[in-house]
Amino acid sequence: MTIIPHTFTLLFAQTAPMFDPAELTPIPAPLWFVQFFKILGFVLHLLAMNLWFAGIPLILLMMIFGQKYGMRFAKRMFSQLPIIMAFGINFGIVPLLFLQTVYYKPFYTATILMAWHWMMVIPLVMIAYYSLYIAAFSVGKEKKVAQTFLAGLVASGCLFLVAYIMVYAMSLMGRPDTMAGLWQHGQTFAGTDAAGATYGLGINSSDPTLWYRYGSMFGLAATTVAFWTVFDAMILIPKRREKTPEELRADDDYRRWAGDFAVVVAWIGGVIAATCFYRYIGFVKTNPVFSGFFEEGGNPELFACLLYAVMFVPFLGAIALTCAKLFHLGRLITASGATLCQLIAITIFVISRQWIQNLEISQVVPIKHLAENTQMEPFYTSPLVVFLVLFLLGALVIAWMIRQMAIAPKSAL
């Protein structure tokens, strides 16, 4: 059976929610609390994930074309990526928990339909992780350039696949109109009937929103790599007294190269993100499920305007980096300006995705009308209080780990 393409099935998208919120288990925390931590966790996940998603292909390109400074960039990034990946994966757990708390109906349906692909994330991430370690330990060694390159290539390939699976899962959650088709499609495998169960092979790659969603994330990821290159060159290269004048000069030359490289990458990334996001909004706008939102007092013009405004957000980093270059701003101002702009860009991007996700999911479960059962009594065993205490402790441990990295003796990278 062929899966009906998105453009066609949109006409049949749900206009009435599938589930009555009164029949569902109340959520264990206020909706604003869940959304706040989901957004916070996703911002942190994106910050790190962007660096490996677009960072590794850029490292590989620089290993081929970047000459002396490109190799230094590769050495610095590859050495940092295993740690960045550890942070990024752990930060990914935060939005995952909140996703499962409120959006469990569409989330489980989507990930069961695509179960094999979803489970593939685990081996793919493991292979990527080991490959990154191999690259990190071999980079900079003259006889191991090919090994470094190959390990980077394997890691990048696996991570590109994981990104596809993630984007697909998030898209399918918002497309309940295609779920029945995918379920039917997975009813027989190798001539055997699944008797109502699913074989978990449901991937509808004809959904045209997929590649634009993927592209917008990749473009944003490139802008994050641009920001990180500058932050790393300006702040993380130690300005040690014991360095020779040649080493200090080489550091300054690398900083200049990093600034130029970042400006180019940030503009290219911005164009990719904006173009893909523009096309993505085109599909989102035509989805009839949004009529529900407008009936509830939403303003369609304002909705479209705000989404189109988000299109320009990925350029924030590029503008900041270009100004820093043109006006010869100092290291600290450049690094803090780029950090602020990138954080704002990522946060607005995540909020806009959350907004779209809420509207899409409301066709399955009207989340605004879900009952809340905030368990605050007894105070000391309240899950909410336990969560907040553990969250604070976790944040303190991360701050301590970053401090340990900052004060650890550094080799002259």
Residues that bind ligand HEM (CB under 6 A): 38, 42, 45, 49, 53, 89, 92-93, 95-96, 99, 121, 125, 159, 162-163, 166-167, 170, 213, 217, 353
Minimum Å distance from CB 102 to ligand HEM?
A: 10
CB-closest chain residue to ligand HEM:
92
Q: How far is the CB of 292 from ligand HEM (least distance, A)?
A: 20
- Least Cα distance to 226 among 347, 140, 316 occurs for 316
Q: Which residue, 148 or 216, has its beta carbon nearer to ligand HEM?
A: 216
Output 93 or 305, the one with its CB closest to ligand HEM.
93
Q: Hey, is 238 helix, strand or coil?
A: coil
Compute the least distance from the CB of residue 184 to ligand HEM, in Å. Answer: 25
Question: Sign of the CA dihedral 187, 166, 367, 287?
Answer: negative
Given the complex with ligand HEM, which of 81 and 324 has the nearer CB atom? 81
Dihedral-angle region of residue 2 (phi above 0 means left; psi in -120 to 50 means alpha; beta otherwise): beta
Q: How far is the CB of 106 from ligand HEM (least distance, A)?
A: 12
Minimum Å gap between C-beta 312 and ligand HEM is 20
Q: Which is nearer to ligand HEM, 258 or 361 (CB)?
A: 361
Q: Closer CB to ligand HEM, residue 210 or residue 237?
A: 210
Nearer to ligand HEM, 82 or 238 (CB): 82
Rounded to whole angstroms, how far apart are CA atoms 371 and 354? 20
User: What is the spatial distance between Cα 44 and Cα 300, in angstroms, rounded to a whole number?
Assistant: 31
Note if the bond before 383 is cis, omega within 30 degrees: no
Indicate the residue among 124 and 318 with the shorter CB distance to ligand HEM. Answer: 124
Beta carbon nearer to ligand HEM, 156 or 334: 156
Q: What angle do CA 11, 13, 16 make, to 5 degrees?
A: 130
Closest CA to 413 of 65, 210, 140: 140
CA–CA distance, 161 with 110 (Å, rounded to integer): 17
Question: To the nearest whole angstrom, how small is the minimum distance from the Cβ of residue 53 to ligand HEM?
Answer: 4
Residue 82 to residue 136: CA distance in whole angstroms: 8
Cβ pair 261, 295 in contact under 8 A? no
Closer to ligand HEM by CB, 162 or 316: give it: 162
Q: How far apart are the first and last CA of the chain?
A: 56
Looking at the DSSP bridge assignments, the partners of residue 192 are: 189
Please report how close the Cβ of residue 171 comes to ligand HEM at its closest, in angstroms: 7
Distance CA 233, CA 167 (A): 32
Q: Compute the distance between CA of residue 331 and CA of residue 407 in angstroms, rounded to an integer.
A: 20
Q: Which is nearer to ligand HEM, 124 or 320 (CB)?
A: 124
Q: What is the number of other CB atoms lying within 10 angstroms of the CB of residue 243?
A: 15
Tokens of 159: 């991570």
CB of 32 to ligand HEM, least distance (A): 15
For tokens 């907040």, the residue is 388
| Cβ(227)–Cβ(317) below 8 Å | yes
Q: How many CB atoms lie within 10 A of CB 339?
A: 18
